Amino acid sequence: MIALTLAEIAEATRGTLLLDGTHVSPETAVSGPSTTDSREVVPGGIFFAKPGEVTDGHLFAPQAVEAGAALVVVDHPLQLPVPQLLVDDTVVALGDLATEVIARVRALGRLKIVGITGSNGKTTTKNLLRAVLEQVGPTIAPRASFNNEVGAPVTMLQVTEETQFLVAEMGASGIGEIARLVRMARPDVGVVLKVGLAHAGEFGGIEKTLQAKTEMVTDLLESDVAVLNIDDPRVATMADKTAARVLWFGLDERADVRATDVVSDRRGTSFTLHLPSRDGGDGPGSEPQSRPVRFQVLGEHHVMNALAAAASAYVLDVDIDTIVSALQTVKTAERWRMEVMGGTEVTVINDAYNASPDSMSAALKTLAQIAEPDGRTIAVLGEMSELGEFSGEEHDRIGLLAVRLGIDQLVIVGPSARRMHISAINEGSWDGESLYFDTQDAAFDHLSGALLPGDTVLVKSSNSAGLRFLGDRLGESFS
């Protein structure tokens, strides 16, 4: 974080500075990282005591002080030997401080911000774009899926005077949340990947999801750019709701940034990347640019994420050769996202960090595409959470899809996912092609003895189902 005095932090967060007994001046500067997790506090950092559903961050403030926190942000005073900042809401204060830091750094004229949202692919796109932009200048991007009202501002607060690019992943589970994040760090480039059923239960339906995701582009200025997925009809409607220039990406031939000649295999996906000309005229550099890409991230569906990253980098004046070189160096989208594990005999694809109907379908199609010619395909599937009223029919649809794709063995884990098993049986998988287990341990015991050389295993579920740990166990067992 840029250095701010305690007084400046108090003003930015509309808080009251409590210094009694600390022998610290309001003009003392703080520049350490901010966190809501006392285990992540480092000397000179700021600890925001966030109340939670299970516990309260105020209970861990003493541990934060022991770890070296220079300031503790609280909603009620505590007996602590360090400065405290008393605010009405610690999460709101976190966002207010991020807003102030971003505004100060932007005023220097160097920082460019890319905001990324969508029902699927945010984290992968963020990682790909970070890989590209790091080749050009100092870049800040969130770790894992730090994209909510806490994770996003924590990432924003890492920005310093030297930062050239901020890649801000912006997620939401309700109307107004993306708009709040956009107000903290208004993007120069706003990216919308897809509007699907992920979290539709929380939003209250697909139209509410569309409304929430549209918040990414509604406040963009004419000088900004909206990077939109032309292949998604819902995303395409956002072009009429933004003042920004629109740059389309996708497989459609009308896209400004597109991919052709897409071919997937066990080593990744090859495609040809097409970018617009740089000057839009008839002189040198006016011809559209094309380059072959050997993309190592597994799954044809990740090509769309690569296109979104390439489009964003193009807007930021990164040349096509740098874009392609960086994309080709990325091997894994993220931990537990199409992560290839196992060994020479059994391949395990651990994709169980999250799951929606769209990402589950894409993962199953990838499994069918990359199978060894003489090997079996095994899909180990768990619940897709947060689908609300769509849950039953979407689990049914995935069970049917697995059968129709010719997946050799379906292994369903957990009561909430059992409808996929029933649907597969009803579709014809009644002779053991689909198996159901209540627990991960039971599924692991079966798979440990049933997997054969040449098998390719996909493990896929929502984060809450926890099958990523089953995927790790299988990967280690067959490494």
Instruction: Name the binding residues for ATP.
Output: 118-124
Q: Which residues line the annotated binding site?
A: 118-124
CB 112 within 8 A of CB 132: no
Pairwise CA distance, residues 473 & 348, whole Å:
10
CB 384 within 8 A of CB 394: yes
DSSP H/E element including 226: strand 225-229
CA dihedral 49, 170, 187, 143 (to 10 degrees): 70
- Please report, for residues 16, 251, 352, 459, the alpha-carbon distance to residue 304 in angstroms, rounded to integers and kept in the order given: 47, 8, 20, 22
CB 159 within 8 A of CB 138: no
Tokens for 334?
A: 């993220």
Give the DSSP letter of residue 334. B
Ranges assigned E (strand) in 16-83: 16-18, 29-30, 34-35, 46-48, 71-74
Q: Say whether 16 sits in a helix, a strand or coil.
A: strand
Q: Say whether 173 sits in a helix, a strand or coil.
A: coil
CB-CB neighbours of 56 under 10 Å:
13
Pairwise CA distance, residues 405 & 202, whole Å:
30
DSSP H/E element including 302: helix 302-315
DSSP H/E element including 469: helix 467-477
Q: What are phi and psi of 28, to 5 degrees?
A: -65, 130
CB 395 within 8 A of CB 417: yes
Q: How many residues in the chain?
A: 479
Contacts of 25 (CB under 8 A, 6+ apart): 6, 19
Count of CA atoms in the C-beta half-sphere (13 A) of 171:
20
- The secondary structure of 397-441 as a DSSP string is HHHHHHHHTT-SEEEEESGGGHHHHHHHHHTT-TTTTEEEESSHH
- List the beta bridge partners of residue 226: 190, 246
Pairwise CA distance, residues 413 & 390, whole Å:
19
* Rounded CA Rg of the chain: 24
CB 6 within 8 A of CB 17: yes
